[in-house]
Structure 1
Amino acid sequence: MSRPSRLIRNPRWTRTLAFKAAAFITVMCCALATMLGVLVHVQVTNQTVGQSRDVALSKLAEATDAYEAGDALAPNASVDPDGLPRELKALAAAGERGTMVADYRGRPLMWAAGPAAGGRALAVAVEYGQQARTIEALDNAILWSSGLAIGVTLLVGAVAVARVTRRLQATAQVARRISAGDLDARVDDPLARKSREDEVAAVAAALDRMATSLQGKLLSEQRFTADVAHELRTPLTGLHAAAELLPPGRPTELVRDRVAALRTLTEDLLEISRLDTGKEQLDIGAVELGALAHRVVAASGAAADVVVVRDRVVETDRRRLERVLGNLVSNAHRHGAEPVIVTVDGPVVTVRDHGGGYPEYLVLHGPQRFRTEGGARGHGLGLTIAVGQAEVLGARLAFGNADGGGAVATLTLPSGASPLGAV
């Protein structure tokens, strides 16, 4: 039985811009050097061979005249000499003239042959060693110069590309910091401040302008939220006091219920505005997670199961942690279905219900203020506050859906917690 083939992936560094640019430069330099080298080699070889051929044919003409006149032949001319290529001998026997370069006794010679009496060949051999060495030296020079040119070009190109990639990486790092919530991050590319900026500087400048604009809009939104919440607080306090003076009855209960909902919404908005400022102070103390989970469930006033797999004592802000778990349990009862299960497994606390699960946007991007789907009640602030308080605690809050159905919120507290009872 054949084993399934495994997908082989290229190393990550081969997918970088620097590697691709270096590979492109290398390929183009090699192609250009090869093309120029071939052109120079062919041109010089044709010229050298042509000159030697002209000399050989001239000497063959002199030898032919002497042969026909019955005079003695020159030392380099003879009839059917040893070493004459068979191709030239056959050509001469057919009554034609021709030339060819061939080695004879380890020496390159330019042969020229023509017809002689009796179907024989009159041939002349001209030294071709100097020309062959010239062509060989030229080929070596082309190879060395091409290699040197490729190396220098690759080095210069790598330096230039590395500078561009460093700037791109710095821009990407700033973009990641902005997406993580650091709205003060800026690229501040020096070239972006010059009148003649390149493409990378243009991208960096655009990112800085976008971050500044986004920061301004978010700060304006935060100030608006805080101002609205503060302005609503006073009249709502008076409205709440007035509602308490109304005579008992169904209308009074409705008024008090709506006033309580408005007060809760206002307090949530105030809490979110405080979280947005990033100036929250922690009150650190030892907290037993199992006992805290039981207290949160009891305070919620709704049925929920607490499962302690591994209890743990953590150093954290008890009030903020209770706020996070309380919001998760409340959200599970309000938007999910029973049974609601709170599980403590070391520093990880999960809250699961058995309803329809979280919306897709919430799983992918986290909770968003004043956004609910499917006719759900609420303003989307409870989970937003839970995420903000978790960030203040240094914890990580993730949202997902269970395979068997239902929403799962997982709170992972910072490392450094110790098992219950540890010294």
Structure 2
Amino acid sequence: MKLLPASLRWRLSAAIAVVSALVAVALSLLVRTEFSQTQLADARQLQDERIQLVVRDYALTGQAALGSELNSSAVPPELLSAVRGGQRATYLERAPNGSWIWAAAETDGKVLSLRSPYSDRDDALSRLDQVLLIGSVGVVVLSSVVGVLLVSRLSRRLRLAAGAARRVADGDMTARVRDVIRDRPRDEAAELAQAIDGMADALQERLVAEQRVTADIAHELRTPVTGLVTAAELLPPSRPAELVRDRVRVLRVLVEDILEVARLDTAAERAELAELQLGEFVRRRVAGVAPDAQVSVLSEVPVRTDPRRLERVLVNLLVNAGKHGKPPIEVEVDGLTLRIRDHGPGFSDELLRDGPSRFRTGSSDRSSGHGLGLTIAVAQVKVLGGTLTFTNPEPQGALATLVLPDSPV
């Protein structure tokens, strides 16, 4: 399974990972800040209670108790300023030799000060940082894994839906998205499948209706056209009679082509296989259809295929090259590959992009024709199980390449 870095799967997974990381960082900062502030508040409160005991004891005994000092020179200037005027205050000092929490109070013009180490609380904060870091990494990894699993499931269902839609676009009207992605869970992918299947059902109904109308019209025309052919042959020799017979023959060929297209549209046609030498087969058929064409056999291999359908494809390609291309017409057989090239203006951009379409001509300067020849050729090749491609080689011309399967369908 090939996945591109810019696919929906990786973009959504990356978004989930980024959001998880941002949430984890935000929560970690919030927890750390709250814990740090709570620690400091508790330490200040404890020091404040202790300095109050020191002040009361000093008032009774005149001695500094609990490890306090009187008029210590180590008291931070900020703390001294805060206690002037008989006040009481606490202060956190960050020093190279460690952190200290101070408490001081002024009594009788003297400053009683008390300090306690704050490093143990800093150590607790460091341990909390480690826990938050490990927890954040774990949350990001876990959420990323869960996100990848969830998005992979969605991505897989979307890929299956796209594959089924492509099969419908390629002509497989039995393909349905709901059959490949199922109906559970009922999410946006299921709604997309329902919408695509509804479109495919409507398209299939329309195609079936059009095919039925085409076949019915062709069948209805067949009898009067046969009568016209018979009547035209009974006309006395004259120029108008020749024109009538020529147009009637064109009309009969058109009706027969439409009937053939209608049969091929049903997808019920099956190849009647026989073994033949492709090079020899092509030489004989080309000699009868385009005697001026140049035939070359690079390698000869036996092939098992339907001779009638293969002849139909070959004749249609040769007729198209002779009618809409320019000589020389070159026919090349190379193993299971058959190439037919002319030196005319080449196929139109629409045909190269979308493939042959009925009632649309196939060369850039075509002014006549009903466009069924190449359409029938493509459909017959599909029955044979091969591939037929159209290109415009340099410097000019049109090239049709037929590749027969190694093993027949």
Normalising by the smaller structure, the TM-score range is 0.7 to 0.9
Match of 1:36 in 2: 27
TM-score (norm 2): 0.85
Partner of 2:166: 176
Alignment of 1:24-423 (within 5 A): 24-56=15-47, 59=50, 71-78=62-69, 89=76, 99-102=91-94, 109-112=100-103, 124-188=114-178, 197-372=186-361, 374-415=365-406
Indicate if the aligned counterparts of 1:332 and 1:353 stay in contact, CA closer than 8 A. yes
CA positional deviation for 1:152: 4.5
The answer (yes or no) to whether the contact 1:369–1:384 under 8 Å persists in 2 is: yes
Count of residue correspondences: 399
Cα displacement (A) at 1:260 = 0.7
Q: In the aligned structure 2, how far is the partner of 1:179 from the partner of 1:191?
A: 18
Q: Deviations over 1:267-321 (max 9, x none)?
A: 1111111111112222212222222222222121452111222222211111211
Q: 2:227 & 2:96 partners in 1: Cα distance?
A: 119
2:300 counterpart letter in structure 1: D
Q: Does 1:18 align with 2:2?
A: no
Shift of 1:110: 2.2
Partner of 1:398: helix, strand, or coil?
A: strand
CA distance in 1, matches of 2:392, 2:350: 12
1:102–1:111 CA contact under 8 A, matched in 2? no
CA contact (8 A) 1:92 1:115 kept: no
Matched residues in 2 for 1:13 and 1:366: separation?
29
1:16-41 per-position Cα deviation (integer Å, ceiling 9, x unaligned): 32322222111111101111110121
1:173 alignment partner AA: G
Contact in 2 for aligned 1:91/1:98 (Cα 8 Å) = no
Structure 1: runs of 5 or more not aligned: 1-10, 418-423
- Return the offset for 1:381: 0.3
- Separation of aligned partners in 1, 2:179 and 2:336: 42
Per-residue CA deviations over 1:134-183 (Å, capped at 9, x if unaligned) read: 43444344344444444444444344333322322221121011012110
Offset at residue 263 of structure 1 (A): 0.9
Kindly indicate whether the alpha-carbon contact (under 8 Å) linking 1:100 and 1:111 is maintained by their aligned counterparts in 2: yes
Q: Which amino acid aligns with 2:352?
A: V
Contact 1:95/1:114, CA 8 A, preserved across alignment: no
The structural deviation recorded for 1:396 is 0.5
**CA displacement, residues 177-228 of structure 1 (integer Å, 9 cap, x when unaligned):** 101211011122799979x953222211111111111111111111111111
Sort the Cα spacing of 1:216 and 1:401 in 2 relative to 1 into closer, same or farther, 3 A: same
TM-score (norm 1): 0.83
Task: Give the secondary structure class of the aligned counterpart of 2:357.
Answer: coil
User: What fraction of aligned residue pairs are identical, expressed as a percent?
Assistant: 40
Cα offset, 1:415, TM superposition: 2.5
State how far apart, in whole Å, the 2-side matches of 1:297 and 1:263 are: 24
- Kindly indicate whether the alpha-carbon contact (under 8 Å) linking 2:54 and 2:68 is maintained by their aligned counterparts in 1: yes
Report the secondary structure of 2:269's partner residue.
Answer: coil
- For 2:86, the equivalent position in structure 1 comes to none
Partners of 2:308 and 2:106 lie apart in 1 by 115
Q: Which residue identity is paired with 1:100?
A: L
* Cα distance between partner residues in 1 of 2:274 and 2:292: 28
Q: Do 2:157 and 2:181's aligned partners in 1 also have CA atoms closer than 8 Å?
A: no
Distance across 1 between alignment mates of 2:269 and 2:102 = 98
The 3 A distance-change label for structure 1 pair 227 and 380 is: same
In the alignment, the residues of structure 1 paired with residue 138 and residue 55 of structure 2 have an alpha-carbon distance, to the nearest angstrom, of 50
Q: Give, as a single letter, the amino acid of the residue that structure 1 aligns with 2:293.
A: A
Deviation for aligned residue 1:80: 9.3
Structure 1 residues 367, 200: closer, same or farther in 2, change over 3 A?
same
What is the alpha-carbon distance in structure 2 between the residues aligned to residue 173 and residue 318 of structure 1? 34
Q: Which runs of 5+ in 2 are unaligned?
A: 84-88
SS in structure 2 of the partner of residue 38 of structure 1: helix
* One-letter amino acid matched to 1:403: E
Deviations 1:382-409 (A, max 9, x none): 0001101111111110001011111111
- How far apart are 1:371 and its partner, in Å? 1.1
Q: Secondary structure at the match of 1:12?
A: coil
Inter-partner Cα distance in structure 1 for 2:275 and 2:360? 36
Deviations 1:88-141 (A, max 9, x none): 656578898873345797x7542457999xxxx975321435533543444344
Work out the CA distance in 1 between the residues paired with 2:270 and 2:278: 21
Residue 399 of structure 1 aligns to a residue in which SS?
Answer: strand
